[in-house]
Amino acid sequence: MSAAPKIRPKYYDLNPAHLPPPGLVSILHRVSGALLFFPALPIALYILHVTLGSQEGYDRWAAFFSRPGVKLVVILAAWGYAHHFFAGIRYLLLDLHVGIAKAPARSSAVIVLVLGFLAALAFAWCIW
């Protein structure tokens, strides 16, 4: 055995666009979860606090939410929630060994990505 181990090259392809669908669902599940914890959760609690607190607080936030830019951000947050929701249900099913083989796991990942996007669209249609 040689004294110094040879440095082996690493080829990690970390480009999300090159990930297989289950990998993409996985990293988006993690990122959306972290973003829901911060900043989405404290902002949501603050809005609940203010809008339930007084008529003025409610009117202030209602006016703020009527801006298109704000609506866009809220739709993005809803997309994060929806993706986390559907990906989570997929993981619950995988835990129960439903669709655990490679091919169904791949197609369920694609379904999760599509459902998350469709839910965000439905949400957008609902609030616009």
Q: Which of 48, 72, 98, 110 binds another protein (CB under 8 A)?
A: 48
42 touches another protein (CB under 8 A): yes
Measured CA to CA, the distance from residue 31 to residue 22 in angstroms comes to 14
Contact status, residue 79 vs residue 117, Cβ threshold 8 Å: yes
Most distant CA pair in the chain, distance: 77
Measured CA to CA, the distance from residue 90 to residue 48 in angstroms comes to 30
Q: Which of 20, 23, 39, 53 binds another protein (CB under 8 A)?
A: 53
Q: DSSP secondary-structure letter at 98?
A: T
Nearest approach, Cβ of 5 to another protein (angstroms)? 16
Residues near another protein, by CB under 8 A: 30, 33-34, 36-37, 41-42, 45, 48-49, 51-53, 55, 58-59, 85, 88-89, 92, 95, 123, 126-127
